[in-house]
Amino acid sequence: MSKATFAAGCFWGVEVTFRQLPGVTSSRVGYTGGNFANPTYKDVCTDGTGHAEAVEVEFDPTKITYEQLLDVFWENHDPTQVNRQGPDYGTQYRSAIFYYSPEQKAAAEASKARLEKSGRFSKPIATQIVPEATFFEAEDYHQQYLEKRGLASCHIKA
């Protein structure tokens, strides 16, 4: 199995999007990229921890590639927004790719460059591409939040 971590706004919708993909074996929501140990949702919502709401995805690379995951990431949020998605705002809602290897970094940078050159967006892409950081799993009630409530999505498609 391989791992990928993405931040694309509220983690509830991001998680359900990735969980539905064939080849994704598990996912969990949490907080990463900040400077505060063992944050809670309440801590992250203060916009003072530096953490992003993120989804950690485990996947079988023989069934789905990292590049395919990147495509889903780009398609399911607005990467031109700085520290916001839809009605949610703050650094915890930033767009970011947390890479685990030089290969993932190169793939993410190439994917971002292709998207920028495509002309799909009139504004620059604000997505950060940064090394993975300690991932703090969110509280249990956030895990598979939408599925537990019978909801299909809550994210903004770009």
**93 close to 53: Cβ distance less than 8 angstroms:** yes
**6 close to 55: Cβ distance less than 8 angstroms:** yes
**50 close to 43: Cβ distance less than 8 angstroms:** no
Q: Is 45 a catalytic residue?
A: no
Q: Which pLDDT band holds residue 144 (cuts at 50, 70, 90)?
A: confident
Tokens linked to 95:
């767009």
Q: Which pLDDT band holds residue 52 (cuts at 50, 70, 90)?
A: very high
**Could you tell me what percent of the chain has a pLDDT over 90?**
77
**Residue 18 pLDDT > 70, yes or no?**
yes
User: pLDDT tens digit string along 90-105?
Assistant: 999 999 999 999 999 9
Helix (H), strand (E) at residue 116: helix 102-118
**Residue 15 pLDDT > 60, yes or no?**
yes
| Catalytic-labelled residue, pool 7, 10, 24, 55 | 10
**Residue 155 pLDDT > 60, yes or no?**
no
The CATH topology of domain 2-148 is Peptide Methionine Sulfoxide Reductase; Chain A (3.30.1060)
CA distances from 88 to 4, 64, 92, 108 (A): 23, 30, 9, 24
The ranges assigned to domains in the chain are 2-148
**139 close to 39: Cβ distance less than 8 angstroms:** no
User: pLDDT tens digit string along 64-73?
Assistant: 999 999 999 9
